[in-house]
Amino acid sequence: MGTAATERVAVMAIHPRYADAILSGEKLVEFRKRKLADDITTVLIYATAPVQRVVGEFSIKETVIDKPASIWATFGEVGIIDETNFDDYYASSTQAVALVVDQATRYARPQTLDELEASSIPQSFYYVHRSRKVERQRLMPAVA
C-alpha cells in the first residue's frame, strides 16, 4: 500500500481554456465549490468538449477555504477568470475553495476516460486510483 499504483487521485472536469492555462503555468489556482478529500494531492485534468481527454495533471500545494470575496481578493489575479464570472459561479455559495497549483504536467499523449477505466465524464470531479498507465504518462513538463 501507499505506492503510486494505488494512490487515489481526483479526475476534474476543466474547460480546455483553463486546462491549458494550468498546464502552461499561467493559471496558478483552480476554483471549486467543494473541497477535495484530505488524501488527494494530485488532480488529473479532464479537458471538457471539444477535447474530451485527460490532458495532464497538477499537484496541490495548498487548499484554501474561505468566503468567495476573500478567495477573490487573495487569488483573483492568478485564477484566469474575470470577477463577474467568478461572482456568478459563487452567487449562491457561502464558501469558496481555492486549489493552489504546485506543479503541473502536460501528458505526452492525452488519454480517454476509457483508458483510465473511468467511463463517465466527471460533473465536477471524482476519485480514482492512479493506474500505471497514468503514472507512465508523466513525460512532458507543463512549462514550455
The CATH number given to whatever domain includes residue 33 is: 2.30.130.30
Share of the chain above pLDDT 70, in %: 76
Q: Residue 38: which residues within 8 A CB-CB, separation 6 or more?
A: none
pLDDT of residue 140: 44
Q: Burial code of 104-139, b = ≥16 C-beta within 10 A, e = fewer?
A: bbbbeebbebeebebeeebeebeebebbeebeebee
- The count of structural domains within the chain is 1
Q: 89: left (phi > 0), else alpha (psi -120 to 50), else beta?
A: alpha
Q: How high is the mean pLDDT of the chain?
A: 84
pLDDT in tens, 22-33: 999 999 999 999
Structural domain contains residue 40 = yes
pLDDT of residue 121: 63
Structural domain contains residue 21 = yes
Domain that holds residue 127: 8-64+98-133
Structural domain contains residue 15 = yes
| Residue listed under C-alpha cell 497549483 | 101
pLDDT in tens, 56-100: 999 999 999 999 999 999 999 999 999 999 999 999 999 999 999
